Structures are given as structure tokens and as C-alpha cells.
Chain A
Amino acid sequence: MLHVTLQQGGASINPNNVRLRINGSEVAVPEGTTILKAAALNGVEIPTLCEIEGLTPYGGCRLCIVEVSGTSKLFPACTTPAAQGMEVTTQSPKLYEYRKMVLQTLLAERTHICAVCVANEHCELQANANNHGVDHVMYERNWSCESIDSSHEFLVIDRNRCILCTRCIRVCDQIEGAHTLDLKFRSKSTNVIMDQDQNWGQAMSCTSCRKCAKVCPVGAIYIENENIEFTKDRDIAAFLSKRRRRSR
């Protein structure tokens, strides 16, 4: 992954490259590159939600599913490595329909009301829904009553807006190294917690670094009295991990 950007120009001459077809056009990428990255390097955009550069892929949101010829199974582009001879389709009526359903189930799962959300117009869920023509939710909405925690000095978590992408958990663990955040329970009761399920204000391991708020794709974690436009920083994880590698 490290070499991807460096070798971009001469990628096809490297003997360690794998050749595959994405939407019909042949591309070559270094071995171990994910389909998502291979597509991005060649100008093909695949919608994502839980994926964020610089952190380990999660494969949870299922928005980046793609078709691979030879199997009826769908693969998440963010975790599946590109393989020699693979033929990947990133756009099809079926995928479009499934992505739409992913977004609809997410919108129905918890209380997502854009008009009263801090992240309105700066929300990746909202943007994806707009891009996919989700103008209605075909399911009964589940108006969740999850807890809101504003006990921290300036960080706030509203779990009703959480889509459980775990970006915050991963950035806290992999970049900040604090591992304050994690999940509790399973199924629809799954929730992001701090330390041993304490109030954020009492979570001793939290360094108040704000990275969780920066990477949150929706308005679940935000900084009080700060314009969300300034808070959000989608590149923070990639930037920091790159800088650290260089300084090593």
C-alpha cells in the first residue's frame, strides 16, 4: 500500500503487479492493493462509508460491494485484494439497487433527521443518499432513543445519528493509540462506548485529540460550538500515518 502513490506512473512495468479489468478497462496495480484503491488509482469512484484512508478497512457498511465475474458472490471493494485476471464491475442496476437499500436500512435504523443534524450538508450518509436517489425510505423507520453523551469538555456523541462505521474506534486505536472507544452489545443494541462504558467526561484514557470527530462521516460525534465544516477532516488518518512512516 505504501508504494502505491510512488509507483503510480510506472505501475504497469513492475513485475509484481497484478493485472485486472475494472469496468472493462485493463489496469495494473501492485500486489495486495484493494479493489477500491485500484479503482481509485484509475479514476473509478466506488461509494464508501466505513472506509477511510489510513485506517484498516472494516468491510461493514457494504456500500462498496462490487461484482466479480465468475462468482455470484458480491465482494466489498475496501477489503478484497485485487487479483490477477479479475474482472470487476463497480456499477450495475443490481449494485445500484443494493446500495440504495444499504442506505435506506441505515436511514431507517436510527433517528436520522437531516434538518436538525449538525452535519447537515456535510454528511457522507446524506451525500450518498442523494447520489443514489434515495428520496424515500421503504421501511418503517425505527425512531431510536439511544443516549447522547455531552459530559466531555467539548466532544459530544449522539448515538442516534451513529451508523456504526467504527471509524472513530479505529482512529482512536490505530492513530491516537488510546483505544478509548469500542463497541458494546450486539445486533441493534450495538453502540459506541468510552472505556468501560463510562460517560465520556469520566473516560480516563481519552486524550481529547478530536480525531474521532474529524473522521465521523455523519453527525454522531461533533465538537460543541464548532462549525462542523472546520471539524471534519477526512484525510487526517492518512496524513498522520504517512507522516509517521516518513519520520521513522
Chain B
Amino acid sequence: MKQLKLDDLNKIVDQELEFGQAYNYRINVCCSTSCVSLGSLKVLKAFEDAIKEFGVENECKVARTGCIGACSVGPTVLIEPGDYAYSNVTPEKVRQIVRDHIVLDLPIRDMLYESGTFFQKQHRLVLRNAGKIDPGRIQDYICVGGYGALCKVLTNMAPQGVINEVLASGLRGRGGAGFPTGQKWRLVARAVNTPKYIVANLDEGDPGVYANRSLAEADPHAIIEGMLIAAYAVGAEKGYIYIRSEYPLAVQTLQKALAQAKAMSLLGSNVFETPFKFDIELRLGAGAFVAGEETAILASVEGKRAMPRPRPPYPANMGLWGKPTLIQNVETLANIPLIVQNGSAWFAKTGMTKCSGTKCFSLTGKIANPGIIEVPMGMSLREVVFDIGGGVPGGKQFKAVLIGGPSGGCLPEQLLETAIDYDSLLKVGAIMGSGGIVVLDEDDCMVDTARYFTEFCVDESCGRCTPCRAGLPRMLEVFNRITHGQGELTDIGTLEKASVFIRDVSLCGLGQTAPNPVITTLRYFKNEYISHITEHKCEAGKCYTSRYNKEEPA
């Protein structure tokens, strides 16, 4: 096929717009994993049937799209123009929606999603296209300006210029550690060895976190374009997207997107008639949580056991097969086209000075509006939990918020004013992590929560370093004693000592952050530990302590 030019992109946009103008309405049916499990494919079929039945197939287009974020009220349907979001749509309701909304132009107020400030308080950059474009059609992505940024860097910018732009934007890695993206690019670009590689990290293993999956299912081309731009900037020839095999729909979506990009010569050699060449391959994970760690992912891509190795040497110098490798989270990569298109100054306006842009979170737990959200950096946790999330449902008392997945920290109510950015969270003992916020209410026991996450990390330890492999199980034993009413007050000291040891001495991020839930619950909820031990009482009723008498231990 002949090489694509910017004119060709514009032609596709014109064609699509012309095509789109024929339609008055566009019905976007969410077909991401959570909505599909609630039957959105049947809803999609019902819409297609209904518009035929009413004879309006020339007036409206039914599209299968990604997630708009309101996962608790799925299947969701977004009707444009006007962005009317219908929630809990069933095939039975479809006829009524088509009749009233499309034929009579009367949106059905009762069926619209009562979101409060769920959408208003969000700031969607990475998820800009989620729920609005069909992830299975590259034309849809091109139509919203997609691959324009790639064309711009290939034809008008030097690699160093791209790196400077990313540096100036203040973008930091969204994988959790928050290393400045521009600096990482500069390191890889300066490395002398060739070939260079890029690895996009989509190994999202934290329990209850699915923000990256949602992104891949809704807008795969944004990830691919980000990777292409990064490849041009650092001089890489080959990229790998490392994705969990537990995400079949995301794998399928990405495979399709890669095939389309290849067919349009956006991947391969001579992209946009320039000497630039780049190819992307998918690599599927085999289910290890630790494979998301920077050096373990490299081992896994190479086909080895996913085990982290000590740094230095850093992957920027010695990564895949000993060659310089850039490892970025997919969310970071999806930010890149925006920075290139709109400039670093525009991007830096969002968020905070030292920490610009937005962050996607999956908001789960005891919350009224769970789902995928994207908020500007620096927003307070209170705003996220109560304004976007709608607070704790059922009139229950809020207790804590766990931010950062199984290795994050549990923060109590008095710390809800904490701003969401890397440094503020670190200060209070939590981490940004891969973007999970779990809300806990009065029915949750903090000792049991810490025990659960310790158990998770015990199972997921790779087995390499002593503190994580041999130390974490000892902590779990102490927890099991406490939650079975056999704890002693000295156990608190043992836990404190062991958690600091594991944090300081472990090899990789998994071990270093695994004690965070223990450290933070000991810091903010110590009275719960004490009441478990001395009074054998679990106020939330989660632990066995209260069921046993002092005389007859389990």
C-alpha cells in the first residue's frame, strides 16, 4: 500500500465527516468488558433492529464504543448530539429510547444517568475519546485528530524537540513511581547501544483496578500513537505492548488496532514517507502480578520467568536483551499525542506545577458511583470520594480510602484533604500506584484489610529476595493470630519492625511497597489492632475474634 501523507489523513477526516453529517444522531453503546458482561451486546443488536423498525437507519448511526466510566450502571448508552447518557439500558428499553429520543426528539429524562457531579468534576484528557469513538475503527480515531501528532513530529520536529516538549510538559510516569517522562526519554535517547526498544506496560494486576484495561478497550490507537512518537524521540525500532492475558477484550481490541495501523502503513517502515520505521508486537502475560514491575516485565517479554532484577543497571541503558529500553505505562503514552498536538504549555495548565496533567482511577468499594474516572492532579481525595464518587451509599459511615492498590496506604477521614499527586500521597504513606481507589466504610475492618493485602502480596512474591519471600509470610502469620483472637500486644511491635524491614531491604517495588497497608493501618487505626488483641473485639464483625470466648481459643 502507498505511504500515507497528512493530506490522506485530512481526506479520511473529510470523508468521515461527510459520512457522519448524513446522520442526525449517533448512538454509542458501551461494549467494554463490564458492560458486555451486563448484556450490552444484546442492547447493541436491539438498537440496530429498532432503528430499522422505525425506519430511521439513515438518520442515526449505532456505534460500539469503549467505556464512559459509569460502570456500575451499565450497560450505558451515550446519544450524541447532547451527550445524553442512558444507564441500565436493557434490550426492552431500546424501542422506547429510539421512539422517543430519535423519532420524536424527546430525550427520556427518567432513564438518564443521575450522575450528580460524576462527570462535571472530571477532566478527561487520556479518556478523551472513551465512549465516543469506535475502538475497532481507525477512521474514528483519525477523525478526532488521531495520528495528526505523529505526522507533526515526523515531518516537522526533531527527536530532541519532541523530548524537550515532553520535558516542558511536566508529564510524569503514570505507572505509579512518577518518574519524569521527559527525563526517561532523554536517558534512552542518549544511550549509545542499538537497537532500542519500547515496552508499553499494560500489566495491571492490582485487585479492583482496571483503568488501563478501560483505556485499551476504548482508545487503543492513542496508545499506539504515543508509542510511535516515543519511538521517534528515543530512536527505537521495535515496541512491545505487554498485556495481561486476563484481558481478552483488550487484547482483541489492540490486535485489531495494530492490524489496522499496519494496513495503513502507520506501523512498519517509511511512516508518513519518512525514513522512520517502527513495529509493535503484543506480548501476553501469564498471570504474575510482579510482571508489571519494570525489570520483571523485561524478563517476561524476553520469554523468561517474570522476576525483577536489581537496578542499576537501569533499563534505559540495559533493558531488553541488554539493549536500551524505554518502559512506559500505557496511560503515560496516551498523554503524548495531546502534548504534541496542543503544546507543553497547554498541557502544563492542567494539574499542579510539579505534577501536571490528569490521572485515571478506578473508583471501587463502598461508593455510590463506582467506575473509571479521570481527575486533574492535585484534586483532593474528598472531592474524588464525595463529589465524583457520591460518598458511601446506604447512610453508612465512611472509614478509610485505600489508594494505590494492594501496596497502597489506607488513609482515614482526617487525611481526605490530601491532594492527589505523587509527593503528597507519599508523605501520608500511600502511593499513586497504578490507579486504584477503594473506599471502605464502617463495615470494613482495617486489620482484616491489611491482612488481606498482605496475603495478596505473599502469594504474588516472585521468590527472589528474602524479605519479601520469607518475611511477608511471617507477617501474615501474625495477622492470622490477631484476627483469630490469639494476638498479643507484642505482635504490634513485631508487625512494625517486620514491615519497616521488608520496605527497606526488599529488591523490587513489590516488596518495598507491600507493607504500606500495614504501616498505614498501624499509624492511623492502631486502636483497632488493640481492641482486636485485648478485647477480642472486631467492631466491623469481619474477624473471628468476637466469636470466640477467651477461654476457648480456636
Q: Is B467 a contact partner of A62 (Cβ separation < 8 A)?
A: yes
A102/B463 in contact, CB under 8 A:
no
Checking B309, B460, B478 against A187 with a beta-carbon cut-off of 8 angstroms, the contacting residue is B460
Interface residues of A in 38-88 (CB under 8 A from B): 57-63, 65, 74, 76, 79-81
B246 at the interface (CB under 8 A from A): no
Chain A 90-139 residues near chain B, CB threshold 8 A: 98, 101-102, 105-106, 108-109, 138-139
A186 and B461: CB pair below 8 A?
Answer: yes
Known contacts A62-B467, A105-B466: does B460 contact A80 (CB below 8 Å)?
Answer: no
Q: Are B474 and A140 in contact (CB under 8 A)?
A: yes
**Majority secondary structure of chain B interface residues (helix, strand, loop or mixed):** helix
**Contacts known (A108-B474, A164-B469); A62 close to B463, Cβ less than 8 A:** no
The answer to whether A62 and B470 touch across the interface, beta carbons within 8 angstroms, is: no
Residues in chain A near residue B471, CB distance under 8 A? 101, 105
Chain B residues with Cβ below 8 Å from A62 are 465-467, 505-507
**B466 pairs with A185, CB closer than 8 A:** no
A108 to B463, CA, bound (A): 15
Kindly list chain A residues whose C-beta atoms are within 8 Å of the C-beta of B498. 101, 139
| Size of A's binding interface in residues, CB under 8 A | 34
A183→B305 contact, CB < 8 A: yes
Complex-state Cα separation, A63 to B465, whole angstroms: 10
Q: How far is the CA of A58 from the CA of B464 in the complex (A)?
A: 9
The answer to whether B501 and A188 have CB atoms under 8 Å apart is no
Q: What mask results when residues 38 to 52 of chain B are scored 1 for a CB within 8 Å of chain A, else 0?
A: 000000000000000
User: Given that A139-B474, A164-B469 are known contacts, is A187 also in contact with B458, CB under 8 Å in the complex?
Assistant: yes
- B: number of interface residues (CB 8 Å): 32
For window 491-522 of chain B, which residues contact chain A by CB distance below 8 Å?
Answer: 494, 497-498, 501, 504-507
Which of A65, A79, A101, A138 has the most B CB atoms < 10 Å from its CB? Answer: A101
Cβ contact of A59, chosen from B465, B470, B494, B504, cutoff 8 A: B465
B463 touches A186 (CB 8 A): yes
What residues on A are CB-neighbors of B463 within 8 Å? Answer: 164, 183, 185-190
Contact yes or no, A186 B462, CB < 8 A: yes
Min C-beta distance of A146 to chain B, whole Å: 13
Which of B305, B466, B497, B504 lies in contact with A60, CB distance below 8 A? B466
Would A101 and B501 count as touching, CB distance under 8 A? yes
Q: Report the nearest A residue to B308, measured CB to CB.
A: A59
Complex: chain B residue closest to A97, CB-CB: B501
Asked whether any CB of chain B lies closer than 8 Å to the CB of A142, the reply is yes
Q: Please state if B477 and A59 are interface contacts (CB–CB under 8 Å).
A: no
4 closest A-B pairs by beta carbon, nearest first, are A190-B463, A59-B310, A109-B470, A105-B470
A→B interface (CB under 8 Å):
57-63, 65, 74, 76, 79-81, 98, 101-102, 105-106, 108-109, 138-140, 142, 163-164, 182-183, 185-190
B interface with A by C-beta (< 8 Å):
288, 290, 305, 309-310, 312-313, 458-467, 469-471, 473-474, 477-478, 494, 497-498, 501, 504-507
Complex A-B: 9 CB contacts under 8 Å: A62-B505, A62-B506, A101-B505, A105-B470, A140-B478, A142-B473, A142-B477, A164-B464, A190-B463
